[in-house]
């Protein structure tokens, strides 16, 4: 009897949390829809530039993420900081998970190098595909029912 009461209470709190977060979900969906429409318009105007900027940004972010993790791992501050308890938690987490952080850093660097290799090797082929991408985005934007369908599924 007590277990059922606790389970029901936990489920009820979960439902209330979802109800409280419904506006956050709605705003996130609207921002994602607006960003995707802006990206579609940008891809129609200057597909090549936008595509190469996205690829270079992905490579740069992977390298930056790996560097930040390495710096956080190998250059930590003192562990017992009495003023900031969150910092102590953070540093102790880094100390405990040092091997996993190193693996993630190496993975980020290798993935960035792999992306750079693929871009260098298949750059001419990718350049030939960009007009097809531009045409597909213009077709999707010209067909307004696709946009309404995405808004409808978002609302569902």
Each residue of 125-151: pLDDT tens digit? 988 888 888 888 888 777 777 777 777
54 and 117, same structural domain? yes
Query: Residue 24: its pLDDT value, please?
Result: 86
Q: What is the domain range of residue 1?
A: 1-45+137-156
37 and 64, same structural domain? no
Report the domain count for the chain.
Answer: 2
100 and 62, same structural domain? yes
124: enclosing H helix or E strand: helix 123-142
156 and 111, same structural domain? no
Query: Residue 5: its pLDDT value, please?
Result: 46
Query: Residue 3: its pLDDT value, please?
Result: 45
Judge whether 131 lies within some domain: no
For 72, the token pair is: 């956080």
52 and 39, same structural domain? no
Query: Residue 56: its pLDDT value, please?
Result: 92
Judge whether 22 lies within some domain: yes
Judge whether 155 lies within some domain: yes
pTM comes to 0.64
Query: Residue 8: its pLDDT value, please?
Result: 47
13 and 53, same structural domain? no
Judge whether 126 lies within some domain: no
115 and 60, same structural domain? yes
Question: pLDDT below 50 — which residues of the chain?
Answer: 1-8, 79
Query: Residue 6: its pLDDT value, please?
Result: 43
56 and 117, same structural domain? yes
Judge whether 18 lies within some domain: yes
Judge whether 1 lies within some domain: yes
DSSP 8-state symbol, 82: S
Query: Residue 61: its pLDDT value, please?
Result: 94
Judge whether 69 lies within some domain: yes
Q: Quick one: CA torsion of 43, 46, 50, 51, rounded to 10 degrees?
A: 80
Judge whether 9 lies within some domain: yes
- d(CA 140, CA 149) in angstroms, rounded, equals 11
């Amino acid at each position: 009897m007590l277990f059922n009461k606790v389970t029901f209470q936990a489920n009820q709190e979960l439902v209330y949390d979802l109800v409280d977060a419904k506006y956050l979900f709605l705003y996130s969906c609207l921002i994602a829809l607006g960003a995707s429409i802006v990206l579609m318009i940008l891809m129609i105007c200057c597909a090549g530039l936008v595509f190469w900027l996205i690829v270079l940004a992905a490579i740069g972010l992977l390298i930056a993420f790996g560097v930040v993790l390495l710096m956080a791992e190998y250059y930590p501050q003192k562990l017992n900081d009495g003023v900031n308890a969150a910092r102590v938690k953070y540093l102790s987490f880094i100390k405990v998970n040092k091997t996993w952080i190193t693996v993630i850093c190496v993975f980020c660097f290798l993935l960035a190098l792999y992306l750079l290799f693929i871009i260098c090797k298949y750059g001419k082929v990718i350049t030939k595909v960009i007009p097809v991408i531009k045409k597909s985005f213009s077709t999707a934007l010209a067909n307004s029912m696709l946009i309404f369908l995405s808004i409808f599924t978002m609302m569902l």
